[in-house]
Protein backbone atom coordinates (compact mmCIF):
# COMPACT_ATOMS: atom_id res chain seq x y z
CA UNK A 1 0.00 0.00 0.00
CA UNK A 2 1.37 3.42 -0.91
CA UNK A 3 0.79 6.49 1.31
CA UNK A 4 -1.50 7.97 -1.38
CA UNK A 5 -3.89 5.00 -0.99
CA UNK A 6 -5.17 6.55 2.24
CA UNK A 7 -5.81 9.97 0.70
CA UNK A 8 -9.22 8.80 -0.48
CA UNK A 9 -8.07 8.22 -4.05
CA UNK A 10 -6.05 11.42 -4.39
CA UNK A 11 -2.30 11.88 -4.65
CA UNK A 12 -0.14 14.50 -2.96
CA UNK A 13 0.49 15.97 -6.42
CA UNK A 14 -3.27 16.34 -7.04
CA UNK A 15 -3.74 17.97 -3.65
CA UNK A 16 -0.83 20.32 -4.33
CA UNK A 17 -2.35 21.33 -7.68
CA UNK A 18 -5.75 21.83 -6.01
CA UNK A 19 -4.15 24.05 -3.35
CA UNK A 20 -2.27 26.08 -5.98
CA UNK A 21 -5.59 26.66 -7.76
CA UNK A 22 -6.90 28.28 -4.58
CA UNK A 23 -9.09 25.23 -3.81
CA UNK A 24 -11.41 26.33 -6.60
CA UNK A 25 -13.61 25.04 -7.90
CA UNK A 26 -14.35 23.24 -4.60
CA UNK A 27 -13.88 19.48 -4.89
CA UNK A 28 -16.25 17.69 -2.49
CA UNK A 29 -14.18 14.48 -2.65
CA UNK A 30 -11.19 16.43 -1.30
CA UNK A 31 -12.96 18.83 1.05
CA UNK A 32 -15.02 15.96 2.49
CA UNK A 33 -11.96 13.85 3.29
CA UNK A 34 -10.27 14.34 6.66
CA UNK A 35 -7.05 12.83 5.32
CA UNK A 36 -7.04 15.21 2.33
CA UNK A 37 -7.74 18.22 4.56
CA UNK A 38 -4.84 17.22 6.87
CA UNK A 39 -2.56 16.89 3.86
CA UNK A 40 -3.75 20.27 2.51
CA UNK A 41 -2.99 21.90 5.89
CA UNK A 42 0.51 20.42 5.86
CA UNK A 43 1.05 21.48 2.24
CA UNK A 44 -0.06 25.02 3.13
CA UNK A 45 2.50 25.13 5.96
CA UNK A 46 5.18 23.82 3.59
CA UNK A 47 4.23 26.37 0.92
CA UNK A 48 4.41 29.20 3.46
CA UNK A 49 7.83 28.08 4.73
CA UNK A 50 9.48 27.05 1.49
CA UNK A 51 10.68 30.52 0.34
CA UNK A 52 12.40 31.23 3.68
CA UNK A 53 13.92 27.75 3.88
CA UNK A 54 15.20 27.89 0.31
CA UNK A 55 16.69 31.34 0.90
CA UNK A 56 18.41 30.12 4.07
CA UNK A 57 19.68 26.98 2.31
CA UNK A 58 20.91 28.98 -0.68
CA UNK A 59 22.79 31.40 1.55
CA UNK A 60 24.41 28.54 3.49
CA UNK A 61 25.21 26.22 0.60
CA UNK A 62 26.61 26.79 -2.88
CA UNK A 63 23.87 24.59 -4.35
CA UNK A 64 20.44 24.01 -2.79
CA UNK A 65 19.33 20.41 -2.17
CA UNK A 66 15.86 20.08 -3.70
CA UNK A 67 15.55 16.52 -2.36
CA UNK A 68 14.44 17.83 1.04
CA UNK A 69 11.15 19.00 -0.50
CA UNK A 70 10.47 15.45 -1.76
CA UNK A 71 11.26 14.04 1.71
CA UNK A 72 8.83 16.51 3.31
CA UNK A 73 6.12 15.69 0.75
CA UNK A 74 6.65 11.97 1.36
CA UNK A 75 6.35 12.58 5.12
CA UNK A 76 3.14 14.59 4.65
CA UNK A 77 1.59 11.81 2.58
CA UNK A 78 2.64 9.20 5.12
CA UNK A 79 1.36 11.08 8.16
CA UNK A 80 -1.87 12.30 6.54
CA UNK A 81 -3.26 8.79 6.16
CA UNK A 82 -6.05 7.99 8.56
CA UNK A 83 -4.15 5.24 10.37
CA UNK A 84 -5.50 3.33 13.32
CA UNK A 85 -8.95 3.79 14.80
CA UNK A 86 -8.77 5.18 18.34
CA UNK A 87 -11.87 4.44 20.43
CA UNK A 88 -13.81 7.15 22.24
CA UNK A 89 -16.20 6.57 25.11
CA UNK A 90 -19.63 5.71 23.76
CA UNK A 91 -22.97 6.65 25.32
CA UNK A 92 -24.32 3.18 24.55
CA UNK A 93 -22.57 -0.20 24.22
CA UNK A 94 -23.62 -0.58 20.58
CA UNK A 95 -22.15 2.79 19.50
CA UNK A 96 -18.82 2.71 17.68
CA UNK A 97 -17.24 6.11 18.27
CA UNK A 98 -13.66 6.55 17.10
CA UNK A 99 -11.16 9.18 16.04
CA UNK A 100 -8.43 8.29 13.58
CA UNK A 101 -4.73 8.40 14.28
CA UNK A 102 -4.36 10.90 11.42
CA UNK A 103 -6.89 13.23 13.05
CA UNK A 104 -5.00 13.03 16.36
CA UNK A 105 -1.76 13.85 14.54
CA UNK A 106 -3.60 16.85 13.09
CA UNK A 107 -4.50 17.98 16.63
CA UNK A 108 -0.85 17.71 17.69
CA UNK A 109 0.36 19.59 14.59
CA UNK A 110 -2.23 22.34 15.06
CA UNK A 111 -0.76 23.08 18.50
CA UNK A 112 2.23 24.72 16.78
CA UNK A 113 0.00 27.68 15.93
CA UNK A 114 -0.13 28.62 19.61
CA UNK A 115 3.66 28.77 19.97
CA UNK A 116 5.40 31.33 17.72
CA UNK A 117 8.48 30.05 15.91
CA UNK A 118 7.69 26.35 16.46
CA UNK A 119 7.14 23.90 13.61
CA UNK A 120 5.94 20.41 14.43
CA UNK A 121 7.65 17.78 12.31
CA UNK A 122 7.23 14.09 12.94
CA UNK A 123 4.56 12.92 15.40
CA UNK A 124 4.39 9.36 16.74
CA UNK A 125 2.51 7.53 19.47
CA UNK A 126 4.06 4.95 21.78
CA UNK A 127 1.41 2.64 23.22
CA UNK A 128 -1.72 0.77 22.22
CA UNK A 129 -3.96 3.39 20.62
CA UNK A 130 -6.61 0.84 19.71
CA UNK A 131 -7.44 -0.21 23.30
CA UNK A 132 -9.55 2.28 25.25
CA UNK A 133 -7.72 3.54 28.35
CA UNK A 134 -4.28 2.18 27.45
CA UNK A 135 -1.38 4.47 28.37
CA UNK A 136 0.13 6.38 25.44
CA UNK A 137 3.19 8.60 25.10
CA UNK A 138 3.24 11.27 22.41
CA UNK A 139 6.60 11.71 20.65
CA UNK A 140 7.03 14.93 18.70
CA UNK A 141 9.98 16.31 16.70
CA UNK A 142 10.02 20.08 16.32
CA UNK A 143 12.02 22.84 14.72
CA UNK A 144 12.46 26.18 16.49
CA UNK A 145 13.25 29.59 15.12
CA UNK A 146 16.63 30.83 16.33
CA UNK A 147 16.35 32.96 19.45
CA UNK A 148 13.37 31.12 20.92
CA UNK A 149 14.04 30.01 24.51
CA UNK A 150 13.90 26.22 24.21
CA UNK A 151 12.53 25.40 27.71
CA UNK A 152 9.73 27.98 27.45
CA UNK A 153 8.77 27.05 23.87
CA UNK A 154 8.72 23.30 24.53
CA UNK A 155 6.80 23.73 27.81
CA UNK A 156 4.18 25.87 26.08
CA UNK A 157 3.90 23.41 23.18
CA UNK A 158 3.64 20.45 25.59
CA UNK A 159 0.80 22.19 27.48
CA UNK A 160 -1.00 23.09 24.24
CA UNK A 161 -0.77 19.51 22.94
CA UNK A 162 -1.99 18.13 26.29
CA UNK A 163 -4.97 20.52 26.32
CA UNK A 164 -5.98 19.65 22.76
CA UNK A 165 -5.69 15.90 23.31
CA UNK A 166 -7.66 16.09 26.57
CA UNK A 167 -10.42 18.11 24.90
CA UNK A 168 -10.79 15.98 21.76
CA UNK A 169 -9.69 12.42 22.58
CA UNK A 170 -10.01 9.84 25.33
CA UNK A 171 -6.30 8.99 25.25
CA UNK A 172 -4.55 8.28 28.56
CA UNK A 173 -1.51 10.43 27.77
CA UNK A 174 1.29 9.51 30.17
CA UNK A 175 3.80 11.91 28.65
CA UNK A 176 4.60 14.20 25.77
CA UNK A 177 8.21 13.94 24.65
CA UNK A 178 9.40 16.83 22.51
CA UNK A 179 12.70 16.58 20.63
CA UNK A 180 14.09 19.78 19.12
CA UNK A 181 15.69 18.43 15.97
CA UNK A 182 16.44 21.71 14.25
CA UNK A 183 16.94 25.42 14.93
CA UNK A 184 16.08 27.58 11.93
CA UNK A 185 17.85 30.85 11.18
CA UNK A 186 15.91 34.08 11.35
CA UNK A 187 14.39 35.01 7.96
Predicted confidence (pLDDT) per residue in 29-47, tens digit: 999 988 898 889 888 888 8
Residue 25 pLDDT exceeds 50: yes
Q: What does the domain layout of the chain look like in residue ranges?
A: 1-82, 101-187
The structural architecture, per CATH, of the domain 101-187 is: 2-Layer Sandwich (3.30)
- Spatial separation of the C-alpha atoms in residues 118 and 141, rounded to whole Å: 10
Instruction: Give the Cβ contact number of residue 122 at 10 Å.
Output: 14
| Tens digits of residue pLDDT in 58-106 | 666 555 456 656 666 666 665 556 677 777 776 677 777 777 888 888 8
What local confidence, expressed as pLDDT, does residue 1 receive? Answer: 35
Comparing CA positions, the residue from 178, 180, 172 lying closest to residue 159 is 178
Mean pLDDT of the chain: 82
User: Half-sphere exposure (CA, 13 Å, Cβ side) for 34?
Assistant: 13
Contact 107, 144 (CB under 8 A): no
- 0.85 exceeded by pTM: no
- How far is residue 101's CA from residue 138's CA, in Å, rounded to a whole number? 12
Rounded mean pLDDT, 115-141? 90
Tell me the C-alpha distance between 179 and 177, whole Å.
7
Amino acid sequence: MTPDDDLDGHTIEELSDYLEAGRTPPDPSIEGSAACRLALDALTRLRDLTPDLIAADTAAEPEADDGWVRRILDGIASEARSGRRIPLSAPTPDADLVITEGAVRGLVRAAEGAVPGVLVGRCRFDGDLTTYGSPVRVLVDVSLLYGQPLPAATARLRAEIADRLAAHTALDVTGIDITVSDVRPLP
